[in-house]
Each structure stands twice: as C-alpha cells, then as structure tokens.
Amino acid sequence: MTPREFYEFLAKRETTGVIGFGEAAVSLRVGPQDAMAARLLLWLEETMPEDATQGDLDKVLDAAKWWSTFWASLERERNV
C-alpha cells in the first residue's frame, strides 16, 4: 500500500476503528480526526510541486501547525 492509498483509505473512515496490516503485528486506532488529517494530506500532496521532498512536506505541515497555534492563541486573548 502506498502512502497515497493509505491516505485515501483513512479519508473515507466514518467511525473509530482499528486498522490491521495483513500479517504484521501492527494495528492503528483511528478516528474522525485521522480522516480529516488524511484529507489534508491528500490535498497537500496534490498541490505541492512534483519534485517536492518529504522534507518539503514536513516544513509546510510544521508551518501550518505554527500558524494554527498562533491564531488560536490570539482568539483566546480576545475573548478574555
């Protein structure tokens, strides 16, 4: 299974459940937030340049998390 196939699979999840990986002893508990994250990753994969590296994707996600945290903290300050 490719990362894209895995993201597509997760994006279609409707309920919390456990995903098993064939004969592997690994299982993952997934929920609605994982489906939303998978949809975000699919969008990111589609919009990034063809020659983007995993490091490039990581930097974009890190920046998005920073900005999300920044705006969330401002919102709280305004409501106090």
What is the tens place of the pLDDT at every residue in 31-55? 888 888 888 889 988 899 999 998 9
Across the range 59-72, mean pLDDT stands at 90
- What token pair was written down for 54? 């995993």
pLDDT band per the 50, 70, 90 thresholds, residue 11 = confident
Nearest-10 crossing angle of helices 32-47, 3-11: 130
Q: Where are the beta strands (DSSP E) in the chain?
A: 17-20, 27-30
Residue spans per domain, the chain: 1-47, 52-80
Alpha helices (runs of H) in 12-53, residue ranges in sequence order: 32-47
Whether this prediction's pTM lies above 0.75 is answered by no
What is the tens place of the pLDDT at every residue in 51-64? 999 899 899 999 99
